[in-house]
Amino acid sequence: IHGQDLVLEEHEWLARTGLELRPDGTIVCDAAGRTSRPGVFAAGDVAHGADRVVTAMAAGRRAAGAVYADATAGRIVSRRPDV
């Protein structure tokens, strides 16, 4: 609500997104980072839990590739009229 402070418990903000979550609070996604919501991707710690930086970087590269593939195939459509 505009002008009011909102305090959310850990992982509560993720639950409000409508994304499918695992019991540990990480986001459920496929190997390319695609989540249960079309056009929403996840990678790194938020998708797989705490791990090494290099693992998160590799997941980010895979997700970026999937975003590009989906966008160029027309599977991601902007809801903003100026884009």
Q: What pLDDT does residue 6 have?
A: 65
Supply the mean pLDDT for the chain: 84
26-68 tens-digit pLDDT: 999 999 999 999 889 999 998 988 999 999 999 999 999 999 9
- Per the structure block, which two tokens stand in for 8? 């959310």
11-34 tens-digit pLDDT: 677 778 889 999 988 999 999 999
Q: What pLDDT does residue 59 have?
A: 92
